[in-house]
Amino acid sequence: MTEQTYELLKERILDQVLAPGTRLNIDALTRDLGVSSSPLREALARLEAERLVASELYSGYTVAPEPTPRYLLDLIDFRLMLESHSALVGAPRKDPSILSEMRAMVRQMAATHKLGTRYKQYRRFVDADIRFHQAIVRSGGNEVVIQAYSGMNAILHQARLYLHRSGGEARAVEVAQEHGTILRAFEDGDGDAASRALAYHLEGGRRRLIISGSNQA
């Protein structure tokens, strides 16, 4: 019940049925969703960890504001530092478990030919994207980097959800192709090529974000 409640609320937030800044009334939500307060509060706690809702003492929960384009661009810089280094070091290791995870996620992303603009449409693509990049970071074997990246998981997850919401067929194909190029460099054990492909992919995310912002202006 908690998982269902969490997914329903997440869908409404990302599809902006619940707009940024909306105050969430626990009693009204329990009636609307047909659940008790216990799974609802657990779901809200998960959403708060993902920074999709915010809570204040005595004020309850509100839908969090969307991250600004500047914030999303800064996150790309953060990922470039950590993931490019991880790819450089990790690809030559050719760890079978890492390669297996990356291949599976590339297949899952390739099966998505259109991201769509609603959460249900791009959810599986986002999940595969997260696991693909987590595998890259793990490949480097640096526990400090892995912990730093893991500590940012909620923020990175939130950013992906908003970035992919403005997707479409061209974006899905482009991103999947870039992931395929990274995977081939890992399969070849070429750290330099893997790092370059990863950097090109993340810079592509920066470009897609800028274009998306200009289209909405």
Looking at the structure, tell me whether residues 38 and 102 fall in a common domain: no
Q: How confident is the model at residue 214 (pLDDT cuts 50, 70, 90)?
A: very low
* Residue % of the chain over a pLDDT of 70: 89
Task: Render pLDDT for 122-135 as a digit per residue (tens, 0 to 9).
Answer: 778 888 988 999 99
Q: Which of 113, 109, 178, 105 lies closest to 138 in space, CA to CA? A: 105
Compute the mean pLDDT over every residue in the chain, rounded to the nearest whole number: 86
pLDDT of residue 193: 98
Looking at the structure, tell me whether residues 26 and 81 fall in a common domain: no
The CATH number given to whatever domain includes residue 41 is 1.10.10.10
Task: Render pLDDT for 68-87 as a digit per residue (tens, 0 to 9).
Answer: 888 888 988 999 999 999 99
The number of beta carbons lying within 10 Å of the beta carbon of residue 211 is: 12
Select, from the ranges 38-47, 85-94, 105-114, the one with the highest average predicted confidence (pLDDT). 85-94
Last residue of a domain, one of 63, 79, 105: 63
Task: Render pLDDT for 157-209 as a digit per residue (tens, 0 to 9).
Answer: 777 767 666 555 567 778 888 999 999 999 999 999 999 999 999 998 787 77
The CATH number given to whatever domain includes residue 90 is 1.20.120.530
* Exposed / middle / buried, residue 100 (Cβ in 10 Å: 0-12, 13-18, 19+): exposed
Question: What domain range is 28 assigned to?
Answer: 2-63
Looking at the 3D structure of the chain, how many domains does it have?
2
Contact assessment for residue 172 and residue 129, using Cβ atoms and an 8 Å cutoff: no
Last residue of a domain, one of 18, 33, 63: 63
Task: Render pLDDT for 134-148 as a digit per residue (tens, 0 to 9).
Answer: 999 999 999 999 998
Residue 120 in this model has a pLDDT that exceeds 90: no
Q: How confident is the model at residue 216 (pLDDT cuts 50, 70, 90)?
A: very low
pLDDT of residue 217: 39
The number of beta carbons lying within 10 Å of the beta carbon of residue 15 is: 14
Contact assessment for residue 53 and residue 158, using Cβ atoms and an 8 Å cutoff: no
* Residue % of the chain over a pLDDT of 90: 50
